[in-house]
């Protein structure tokens, strides 16, 4: 009986300790996990290493990449180098919607914003849903494209 109880509790700990990691098929959950991973990376490695890492192509995974925005609204990290340092006043999508205020209003709890943006794989404009979290004065964000 002691063996059974010990085995039962050991298996319970293993099952409870397993956390379901969202897959790419769960785009919203996967996107949120990419942002959380970036925040953990920042907390472990600091700002400079995080900016360097998330500015590299190696940080991109298909349509997913993390971008980081500083306190003044400028992108400081993205594998899309044309976005780094870009004037925040230019955050207008193809439909004319200014999404910059939505982006900058994100809190520590995070928020979803949507806008039209060039898909990095197809080069076509598509609706992008972006999860943004404010952490240590920076905005950490990633998104997915509708229809993927």
pLDDT by residue (tens digit) across 68-83? 999 999 999 999 998 9
Q: How far is CA 148 from CA 80, 89, 90, 119, in A?
A: 20, 29, 26, 11
Average pLDDT over residues 45-63: 96
* Helix segments in 18-148, DSSP class H: 27-54, 100-104
Total domains in the fold of the chain: 1
Where does the pLDDT of residue 118 fall: very low under 50, low under 70, confident under 90, or very high at 90 and above? confident
pTM of the complete model: 0.83
Q: How far apart, in whole angstroms, are the C-alpha atoms of residue 37 and residue 55?
A: 15
Instruction: Provide the residue range defining the domain that includes 88.
Output: 24-145
Structural domain contains residue 11: no
- Please say if the pLDDT value at position 2 is more than 60: no
Structural domain contains residue 30: yes
Where does the pLDDT of residue 8 fall: very low under 50, low under 70, confident under 90, or very high at 90 and above? low
Structural domain contains residue 39: yes
The CATH code of the domain that includes 117 is 3.30.450.20
């Amino acid at each position: 009986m002691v063996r059974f109880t010990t085995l039962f509790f050991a298996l319970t700990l293993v099952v409870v300790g397993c956390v379901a990691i969202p897959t790419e098929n769960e785009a919203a959950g996967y996107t949120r996990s990419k942002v959380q991973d970036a925040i953990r990376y920042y907390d472990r490695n600091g700002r400079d290493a995080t900016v360097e890492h998330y500015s590299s192509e190696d940080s991109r995974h298909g349509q997913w990449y993390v971008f980081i925005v500083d306190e003044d609204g400028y992108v400081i990290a993205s594998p899309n180098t044309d976005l780094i340092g870009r004037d925040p006043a230019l955050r207008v999508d193809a439909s004319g919607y200014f999404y910059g205020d939505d982006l900058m209003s994100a809190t520590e709890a995070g928020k979803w914003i949507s806008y039209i943006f060039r898909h990095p794989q197809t080069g076509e404009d598509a609706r992008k849903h972006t999860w943004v979290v404010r952490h240590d004065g920076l905005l950490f964000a990633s998104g997915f494209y509708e229809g993927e």
